[in-house]
């Protein structure tokens, strides 16, 4: 098969954008690897999106002009993306003129290729501008009309007749929709539409999916491949090759643009393989491409960085570890002692390579330094786990294994302090499976808390348990024979029946998960890339004396929001989306399941990782501490 016509990168991620030097270097990298286009669309450039109406200041415009010139020198098409959808009055000719004036400034600076982007528009920003009848179809039609007016009213008079690419609001999935139907009535027939696959971030793209999506849009299709982008989880670094894109899928595409990570140099490991796929989809070999990419990008640091790159080469994002390590972990915990022994030896070899990585010296090694430190610590934990298992398989007596257990526990604690995520979904669960299971505290007359959770705790749940101990509470996972708990805590590992039973108890309850099942929310979800919350009820005890912006995470992460009951008091909201994240349902408050709160209930901002040590900022821990103190009727523990 011939190469895709459009092969490139779209700088379209959220968070800190690439530097000017990163972009210049990328254009040269593109020329070296057969990429022929670069789309400028960083979400955090205000003049691209939030302030699209405003002209660029002279200094920033000069940088864009230099990029256009450098792209031309390297045979790369520099495409400037404008994203007017947040505030554009779609049926107002005056706003169309504003769009043309903005593009004219860029044209005068030397930009000759444009794209219009209407992605990621919050529903509440467009609802008041939509007609009552067939609003979604109208929105699609108006977006197409804006593109047609731009192509005919701005580009054509300047002698540009190439198709104008665009990003629709409905950019994922393969089905016909009202929006896509409306878009097809007005968008120029030759305009290609960017599409992300069956979902926003995908593990695979197949020929049937491409065929269905192209038919749904009734326009040429460009793949906006959200790979190796990590803005949804900046703790990850995706360093492996492009996988899961069939050669047949390319037959229905006019091009592919990969959305990279904020780490520009590290992104090249993946982008070099994207270039190989886009140049020859039928002949693409991911493993061979990855080897060539490592040699080209890492240079003399290739051998030093190989263990880390391999550990961070999994895709899609929900895959915990590479195929070999995953298989080894399963065999290590399996019933076949001989197989477990052989697997443990190989596992230790892989972990030792990670733990003993020599420091590289180049730009790639410097950019990956946080992941190298995290990988070394995780490798040490993996080695400690292997040593413990080898002792167990060798039938070393329990007392003699105690030092090995302590070393594994200490190594795990060290590894889980790192925000960068290297094999976090694979090594810690294995270590915890080998350590003695956490048991309930002894039954005494002292006050206690009921933890509603899974069988084996996660790092975040262990921190919750430690917090409860600091409040003088013993912790149990079953209430048998213990009398009434002072506090009930619902954690992510709990099942729906357990949550429902806990919610019916007439005791104070802290819901760190499952608020809908507990009757504390109509809906719930997570916001991504959240580092802070905003206190909106500073006088409430749950605010812990804080007001305004409070940093709760050490880095961007998920925070849980709820749509609470009618009598709830919202104490804090997510910083970006302003959804409730810290909520108090007082005793007697109406709940979302139709009942009333038998005692105080609190839902927190905690996401799937809970109070994980790599994630929780001091103020985030303080807010959860204050919630426990409030429900116990006492003071927070510092």
Give the closest residue to 233 by CA, choosing from 465, 589, 531. 531
The answer to whether residues 186 and 129 belong to one domain is yes
Assign 276 a pLDDT band (cuts: 50, 70, 90): very high
Residue 393 shares a structural domain with residue 521: no
pLDDT of amino acid 595? 95
In a domain, 298, yes or no: no
Q: Is the pLDDT of residue 99 over 90?
A: yes
> What pLDDT does 636 receive?
56
- % of the chain exceeding 70 in pLDDT: 96
Pairwise pLDDT comparison (480 vs 585), residue with the higher score: 585
Mean of per-residue pLDDT scores for the chain: 94
Given 380, 404, 434, which residue is the final one in a domain?
A: 434
Is the residue at 278 inside a domain?
A: yes
In a shared domain, residues 427 and 454: no
Tokens of 455: 């069988």
Residues 510, 580, single domain; the answer is yes
Confidence bin at 444 (pLDDT 50/70/90): confident
Query: Residue 581's domain spans which residues?
Result: 448-632
Rg value, the chain, Cα: 27
**Average pLDDT score over residue span 345-349:** 98
Task: Pick the last residue of a domain from 412, 434, 456.
Answer: 434
Q: Does 184 share its domain with 207?
A: yes
pLDDT beyond 90 at 226: yes
Domain edge (last residue) among 434, 459, 490: 434
Give the 3-state secondary structure of residue 330: helix
Residues 30 and 179 in one domain: yes
Q: What is the pLDDT of residues 483-541, one digit of tens each?
A: 789 999 999 989 999 999 999 999 999 999 999 999 999 999 999 889 999 999 999 99
Q: How far apart are CA 216 and CA 207, in angstroms?
A: 14
If asked whether residues 69 and 36 sit together in one domain, one would say yes
Q: Does the pLDDT of residue 378 top 90, yes or no?
A: yes
Q: What is the pLDDT of residue 599?
A: 96
Contact 403, 391 (CB under 8 A): no
Is residue 315 in a domain? no
pLDDT reading at 446 higher than 70 = yes
| Domain presence at residue 318 | no
Angle at 192 between CA 188 and CA 195, to 5 degrees: 130
pLDDT, residue 325, reads: 96
Confirm whether 492 is domain-assigned. yes
Same domain, 144 and 256: yes
Active-site annotation holds for 44? no
pLDDT in tens, 470-494: 999 999 987 665 678 999 999 998 9
Q: How many domains does the chain have?
A: 3
pLDDT of residue 127: 47
Query: Within its chain, how far is the Cα of 453 from the centroid?
Result: 25
pLDDT band for position 320 (cuts 50, 70, 90): confident
pLDDT of residue 438 exceeding 80, the answer is: no
Q: For residue 620, give the CATH number of its domain.
A: 3.40.50.880
- Please tell me whether residues 430 and 483 are part of one structural domain: no
Q: Which tens digit of pLDDT belongs to each residue from 57-82? A: 999 999 999 999 999 999 999 999 99
In the chain, the N- to C-terminal Cα span, in Å, equals 65
List the CATH number of the domain containing 213.
3.20.20.80
Catalytic residue among 120, 285, 567, 593: 120
Q: pTM of the entire structure?
A: 0.92
Q: What is the mean pLDDT of residues 440-449?
A: 78
Residue 584's closest CA among 521, 499, 527? 521
**Average pLDDT rounded to a whole number, residues 592-607:** 96
């Amino acid at each position: 098969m011939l190469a895709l016509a459009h092969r490139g990168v779209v700088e379209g991620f959220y968070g800190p954008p690439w530097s000017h030097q990163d972009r210049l270097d990328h254009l040269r990298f593109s020329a070296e690897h057969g990429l022929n286009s670069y789309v400028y669309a960083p979400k955090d450039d205000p003049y691209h999106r939030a302030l699209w109406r405003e002209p660029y200041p002279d200094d920033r415009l000069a940088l864009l002009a230099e990029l256009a010139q450098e792209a031309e020198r390297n045979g790369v098409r520099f495409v400037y993306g404008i994203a007017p959808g947040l505030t554009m009055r779609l049926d107002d000719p005056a706003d169309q003129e504003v769009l043309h004036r903005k593009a004219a400034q860029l044209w005068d600076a030397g930009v000759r290729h444009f794209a219009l982007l209407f992605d990621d528009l919050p529903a509440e920003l467009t609802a008041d501008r939509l007609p009552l009848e067939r609003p979604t179809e109208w929105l699609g039609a108006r977006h197409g009309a804006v593109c047609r007016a731009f192509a005919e009213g701005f580009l054509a008079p300047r002698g540009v007749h190439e198709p104008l690419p665009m990003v629709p609001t409905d950019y994922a999935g393969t089905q016909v929709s009202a929006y896509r139907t409306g878009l097809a009535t007005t968008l120029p027939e030759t305009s290609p539409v960017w599409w992300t696959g069956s979902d926003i971030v995908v593990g695979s793209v197949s020929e049937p999916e491409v065929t269905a999506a192209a038919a749904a849009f009734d326009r040429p299709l460009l793949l906006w491949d959200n790979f190796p982008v990590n803005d949804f989880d900046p703790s990850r670094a995706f360093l492996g090759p492009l996988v899961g894109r069939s050669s047949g899928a390319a037959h229905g595409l006019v091009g592919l643009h990969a959305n990279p990570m904020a780490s520009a140099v590290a992104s090249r490991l993946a982008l070099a393989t994207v270039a190989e796929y886009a140049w020859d989809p039928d002949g693409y070999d991911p493993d061979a491409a990855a080897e060539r990419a490592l040699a080209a990008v890492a240079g003399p640091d290739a051998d030093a960085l190989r263990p880390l790159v391999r550990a961070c080469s999994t895709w899609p994002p929900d895959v915990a570890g590479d195929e070999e390590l995953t298989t080894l972990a399963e065999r290590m915990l399996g019933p076949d002692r001989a197989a477990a022994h052989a697997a443990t030896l190989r596992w230790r070899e892989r972990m030792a390579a990670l733990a003993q990585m020599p420091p590289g010296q180049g730009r790639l090694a410097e950019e990956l330094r946080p992941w190298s430190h995290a990988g070394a610590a995780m490798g040490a934990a993996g080695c400690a786990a292997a040593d413990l298992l080898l002792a167990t398989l060798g039938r070393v007596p329990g007392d003699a294994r105690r030092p090995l257990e302590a070393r594994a526990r200490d190594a795990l604690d060290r590894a889980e302090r790192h925000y960068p995520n290297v094999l976090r979904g694979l090594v810690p669960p294995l270590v915890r499976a080998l350590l003695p299971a956490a048991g309930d505290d002894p039954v005494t007359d002292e006050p206690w808390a009921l933890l509603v959770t899974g069988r084996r705790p996660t790092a975040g749940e262990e921190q919750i348990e430690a917090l409860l101990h600091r409040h003088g509470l013993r912790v149990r996972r079953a209430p048998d024979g213990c009398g009434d708990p002072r506090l009930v805590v619902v954690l992510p590992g709990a099942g729906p029946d357990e949550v429902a039973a806990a919610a019916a108890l007439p005791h104070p309850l802290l819901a760190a998960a499952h608020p809908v099942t507990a009757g504390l929310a109509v809906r719930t979800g997570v916001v991504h890339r959240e580092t802070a919350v905003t206190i909106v009820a500073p006088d409430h005890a749950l605010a812990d004396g804080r007001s305004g912006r409070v940093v709760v995470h050490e880095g961007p992460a998920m925070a849980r929001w709820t749509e609470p009951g009618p009598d709830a008091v919202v104490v804090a909201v997510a910083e970006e989306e302003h959804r409730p994240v810290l909520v108090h349902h007082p005793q007697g408050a109406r709940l979302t399941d139709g009942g009333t709160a038998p005692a105080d209930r609190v839902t927190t901002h905690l996401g799937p990782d809970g109070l994980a040590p790599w994630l929780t900022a001091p103020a985030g821990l303080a807010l959860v501490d204050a919630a426990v103190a409030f429900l116990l009727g006492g003071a927070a523990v510092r």
